[in-house]
Chain A
Amino acid sequence: AQSVTQPDIHITVSEGASLELRCNYSYGATPYLFWYVQSPGQGLQLLLKYFSGDTLVQGIKGFEAEFKRSQSSFNLRKPSVHWSDAAEYFCAVANNDYKLSFGAGTTVTVRA
């Protein structure tokens, strides 16, 4: 069975600083990996996805993630955080039927 671990429940970062959110997955085959963002009262918005190919994936809003098979990781990064990036972030892994298993989420707070 697949699973995802997001070790950080809450991260606080200053506006303009860099951000890295950690994600580790467990899956027996080649994983399909995703990062979603959720603002309060909203659904999930896809930031980026990895299916195959280049292990450094570019997404929307200036985010990127790197797939590292040897570490079973798919960490999300942004070089310079904006106040609007405050939200909850979910890492997910999909099986062959594209059923998603989500991590517990990381809440990002941005301070001025």
Chain B
Amino acid sequence: GAGVSQSPSNKVTEKGKDVELRCDPISGHTALYWYRQSLGQGLEFLIYFQGNSAPDKSGLPSDRFSAERTGGSVSTLTIQRTQQEDSAVYLCASLLTRGQPQHFGDGTRLSIL
């Protein structure tokens, strides 16, 4: 498809487990962003990738969170030792170039039991 694709759309896991969330950006988009949407905190920036530059990790809430972007395309957000407060919708967005808006995927709804 032409849009940002995220998988899985829903993920339910037990507290303490690790999870991986995937984002396929729009082809050719050089910038990729992860955001988190939760009831208590609203929409928050997590991490930003731009080309081959070092990612901006300033929004990651703890060292249990990490992300990588392979080949400048697909990105994986990993949460280790999940906690109940990690329950949220994780949104990915990609950007072609400055002056253009970000395009968002439909998100992954993560539920920690």
A17 contacts partner chain B, Cβ-Cβ < 8 Å: no
| Contact (Cβ within 8 A) B99 A100 | no
Contact A100 B102 (CB under 8 A): yes
Number of A-B contacts (CB under 8 A): 48
Distance (whole angstroms) from the CB of A49 to the closest CB of chain B: 5
Q: Is the interface of B mostly helix, strand, loop or mixed?
A: strand
Contact A99 B33 (CB under 8 A): yes
Cα of A100 to Cα of B93 in the assembled complex, Å: 10
What is the number of residues of chain B that contact chain A, defined by CB distance less than 8 Å? 24
- CA A100 to CA B47, docked complex, whole Å: 11
Q: How would residues 87 to 105 of chain B score, 1 for a CB under 8 Å from any chain A CB and 0 otherwise?
A: 0000101010011011111
Cβ A49 vs Cβ B42 within 8 A: no
Cα of A26 to Cα of B42 in the assembled complex, Å: 17
Inter-subunit contact B107/A105 (CB<8 Å): no
Name which residue of chain A comes closest to B35, CB basis: A100
Are A99 and B104 in contact, CB atoms less than 8 angstroms apart? no
Q: Quick one: given A90-B43, A101-B45, are A42 and B35 in contact (CB under 8 Å)?
A: no
The answer to whether B98 and A98 touch across the interface, beta carbons within 8 angstroms, is yes
Question: A89 in the interface, Cβ–Cβ < 8 Å?
Answer: no
Is the pair B42, A34 in contact by a Cβ cutoff of 8 Å?
A: no
Check: B68 CB closer than 8 A to any chain A CB: no
Which residues 23-58 of A sit at the B interface, judged by CB distance below 8 A? 34, 36, 41-46, 49, 51
**Interface residues, chain A, with chain B CB atoms under 8 Å away:** 34, 36, 41-46, 49, 51, 90, 92, 97-105
13 contacts between A and B (CB under 8 A): A42-B106, A43-B104, A44-B91, A46-B102, A97-B50, A98-B31, A99-B33, A99-B59, A100-B93, A100-B102, A101-B45, A103-B42, A104-B42
